[in-house]
Structure 1
Amino acid sequence: MLDKLNQYRQNFAFPFQKKAAGAAYKFEWIEDLQGLQEAQRFRTAQFSQQFGIQFEAGLDQDLYDFSCQHAVLRDKWSNEIVAYTRLKLFQGHELYQSYSHQEFKIADELGHLENIVEIGRTCVHPRCRSGKALSVLWLNLLPKVILEMRAKHLIGCVSIRLQGNEARAYYTHQRMQALPEHARCGIQAQQAFEPPYPQYSLQQDERIPKLFDVYLKMQAQLSQQAFYDEAFNCLDYFVYLEVGQLAKNFILQKKMMANA
């Protein structure tokens, strides 16, 4: 076990920190209430724009915020937040307390597992949604997820706007139905939702959102059933990922970049 941890340290912690220092972004963990409120304001702006909703108190906040660890990616020059996510460690018997359990039947299916990290509220500023910011965010999360939390499994939800975006939501749902066996999981929604066939669509509506694509490239498994989150005006799909497989993917990616 010690040898494996040392290998992860060599492959993740130092190289990523060194690379991030010269990049356009800087990564940090939120340590105080002021930082959390800044992140909540960032989430509010992104989700209001992305899902076309208004928050009741004018701020995206919930009870989970006070028990999670929060990570942000900042623009190196302006210092503004450009990407965000939050993490919480669960044991299988605690999954009833997770955010994902509100929408998906995970407690019985995954209750036998240990060291499960739920990732949530992930959002990226529109100008940084090409995928690079998400990759940098993930690279910097891994040392904590693997070394500190000793996570074995990652779970969460990935979303797409529904009202005002019916065509893209429909085609994204069809893509989830057509996932190959290795890319889908059998987790069921608490209440499954089927988006209707759109009255009209454009060619670009057939592209799935970037975050869906990122998860699939990381060899995550996505649910085929969707849950309709009325408060957020979106369809949610459950995401499951083996941390060991994630680590192998990023080690390989790092080696490929070093040899390029």
Structure 2
Amino acid sequence: MRELPLPTLPIQDLGVRDLRAQRRSLRRADVAEAGARLVVAWARDEAEVREAQQLRYQVFAEEMGARLSPPAGTPPGLDVDVFDPYCEHLLVRVLDGDEGNRPVIGTYRVMTPAAARRVGGLYSETEFDLTRLRPLRATMVELGRSCVHADHRQGGVILALWGALAEFMQRNGLETMVGCASVSMRDGGHVAASLWEQLRQTHLAPIEWQVRPRLALPVDDLRRDLQVEPPPLIKGYLRCGAKLLGAPAWDPDFNTADLPLLMRVADLPERYRRHFLAAA
């Protein structure tokens, strides 16, 4: 796998209307988290993308034990893949008054429709056959590599990220979000299989949107009768109207079961629409 240079594409080629202005502006989240104010902004250069990749490495490799396969020449301590140069990277920092010490504590990676065409597909397509989503692709973004620092997982960071994502979607006429939500398989996969069994009864998407995993979690060989609580991120997606697109895929490198989810802006419940879109 060859290394791709970090963003060298002109901003106007990214397929959104006013990303340059969005990158210049910082959105101060109206939430207090761990006693601090938060600032949300899009990464403006390679150095800021590196900060996101460093946080991802801390969470995925050091905390979760993922086996990462970065491109040749990647500096140590970074989670990097071939999709990164084509994506927009949303960052949350703690606003503590010190301009030189505002660490990234949360991040999302966003791939626009134009970027997906340029790179040849979505990351999700390495795990699922997304053929049935083809009618949605013109206004569909992919969300991925979401993570929050272990010291800041009380909810404020995710709310700040979601507010900025909603603003980005509305401002650029984007209607659908798709991505994979991961469930740990440290228990062998029984929790993930049971969660799939529960959610398919209540949140399964219509057949015309359902997808197939390329490497399926062997749910028929696992327990599916456990009463499990969805992880907070998945629970948040479902509250916002997300639909489960099909059975989970198995990601052996990250040791997770990945559930394919789709969420449309039009399906946001009214209370979340007021919260996320009022100021967009």
| Same-fold status (TM-score > 0.5) | yes
Percent identity reads 23
Structure 2: distance between partners of 1:193 and 1:182: 19
| Corresponding residue of 2:58 | 45
Structure with greater helix percent: 1
- Name which of structure 1's ranges 187-196 and 30-39 shifts more when overlaid on structure 2: 187-196
In the alignment, what sits opposite 1:246?
268
For 1:1-260, what aligned pairs fall within 5 Å after superposition?
17=28, 19=30, 24-56=37-69, 58=76, 59-77=78-96, 79-90=102-113, 94=117, 97-106=121-130, 108-113=131-136, 114-147=138-171, 149-164=172-187, 166-181=189-204, 186-195=210-219, 196-197=221-222, 206-246=228-268, 248-253=270-275
Per-residue CA deviations over 1:83-134 (Å, capped at 9, x if unaligned) read 100111116x94961111111121x212122211111111112232232221
Alignment root-mean-square deviation, CA: 3.2
1:183-236: per-residue Cα shift (whole Å, max 9, x none)? 9952222232234536xx8x8xx2221111011011111133011111211111
**Cα distance in 2 for residues equivalent to 1:87 and 1:162:** 25
Moved more, 37-46 or 176-185: 176-185
Unaligned runs of 5+ in 2: 1-24, 71-75
Q: How many residues align?
A: 235
Secondary structure at the aligned position of 1:244 is classed as: helix
State the TM-score, normalizing by the size of structure 2: 0.72
Are the counterparts in 2 of residues 17 and 140 from structure 1 also a CA contact under 8 Å?
no
Call closer, same or farther: CA 1:183–1:83 in 2, change over 3 Å.
farther
In structure 2, C-alpha distance between the alignment counterparts of 1:43 and 1:165, rounded to whole Å: 24
Using the TM superposition, give the Cα deviation of residue 18 of structure 1 relative to its aligned residue in structure 2, in angstroms.
Answer: 7.0
Q: CA-to-partner distance for each residue in 1:122-154, whole Å, 9 max, x for gaps?
A: 11122322322211111022222211x310111
Deviations 1:58-100 (A, max 9, x none): 4210111101010011122262222100111116x94961111
Secondary structure of 1:19 counterpart: strand
Q: CA deviation at 1:177?
A: 3.1
Give the aligned residue type for 1:82.
I
Q: Secondary structure in 2 aligned to 1:231?
A: coil
Give distance in 1, aligned partners of 2:252 and 2:157: 28
Please report the TM-score for the alignment, with normalisation by the length of structure 1: 0.77
- CA separation of 1:109/1:183 partners in 2, compared to 1, >3 Å: closer, same or farther? closer
Q: SS of 2:80's equivalent?
A: coil
**In the aligned structure 2, how far is the partner of 1:136 from the partner of 1:192?**
33
C-alpha distance 197-111 of structure 1, shift in aligned 2 (>3 A): closer
Which residue identity does 1:65 align to in structure 2?
Answer: D
Any idea what SS the aligned residue of 2:160 has? helix
